[in-house]
Amino acid sequence: MQQYLKKALFASIILLLTTSVSSQYRQKRNKFFEGLKVQPKAGINMFYGDLVSESRTNYIFGVAAEKELMPYLNARVDINYGSMKGTQLLDGVELPYAYFNNNFIHFNAGASFRPLDLAYGLFKQRLFNPYVVGQFGMIQYNATEYYGGGGGEEPGSIWREVGEVAPTFSMGGGVNFYFTSHIAFSAEFIGTYAFSDRLDGHDVWYDSENNTIETDGNDFFYVATLGVTYLINDSQWKNSPKYNRKAYLRTRSLYKKGSNSKKYKRPSKRKTKRYRR
């Protein structure tokens, strides 16, 4: 009998431990998804470098994820894949000196700041919500530069091929237009400064005496995208009157009801009559 009791006790302890661990895991998992947003997006990039007389615009698409740190500040991770291109024309004539194309993967990590959430609270009923983005990242690219034929070389022949990884800094902003509290249409415009002058493969050129001349400055590009933002789980501040409009109005209405209602008056003591004998 004692052996059966020991086995039952041992099984009960294991069951309790399993339940506790499972519950803690679910709680941590739910906390991780609180305020987590995912944004698939697509758009165009506009390159500004050495070979940009014309045809500087090309495609880009990617996905961003944000996790709330504060009611008005989110951590942000952003990964994009796209292509760049551009053509440089000779001065005074409409002949291409050189052109390039570039396929790249761009990874960013940073934060997004939402001023309206700071000023007015975390109101899910707001129609639109602008935000500012700041990010550091790395861009991995493979650029090929071609002769344009304006310098006497065979048009379309390869001049340079460059494959590198370079650090970047990005700054910009966006706006969310809400359909529901969980789904929003998003538009972003972000500029990126690359710590490299070879995104177009072109960092030096040669004069008539075959002297090597370096080009000025590093490359820069803008990205404009449209996407859909999906909030996986509500914010941890959803039901706080300080941050949520609906909860705030509900709380205020209760206070108003309390102030408008008649105050409860304690009934006065009834005076007892004294009878004479």
Instruction: Convert the pLDDT of each residue in 243-255 to its tens digit.
Output: 666 666 766 776 6
- Quick: pLDDT tens for 105-161: 999 999 999 998 888 777 666 788 999 999 999 999 998 888 877 666 777 788 888
The pTM score is: 0.73
Instruction: Work out the widest C-alpha separation in the chain, in whole angstroms.
Output: 139
pLDDT, the chain, mean: 78
- Quick: pLDDT tens for 50-83: 777 777 789 999 999 999 998 889 999 999 999 9
* Sequence spans of domains, the chain: 33-258
Which of the two residues, 15 and 251, has the higher pLDDT score?
251
For the domain spanning 33-258, the CATH number is 2.40.160.20
Which of the two residues, 238 and 81, has the higher pLDDT score?
81
Q: Cα(244)–Cα(182) distance, rounded to whole angstroms?
A: 14
Beta bridge partners of 233: 34
When mean pLDDT is compared over 37-41, 57-61, 114-118, 232-236, the highest value belongs to 37-41
The predicted pLDDT at position 277 comes to 42
The predicted pLDDT at position 88 comes to 82
Q: Which of 37, 31, 29 is nearest to 182 (CA)?
A: 37
Q: Cα(131)–Cα(115) distance, rounded to whole angstroms?
A: 7
Segment 187-215 shows an average pLDDT of: 78
Q: How many residues does the chain have?
A: 277
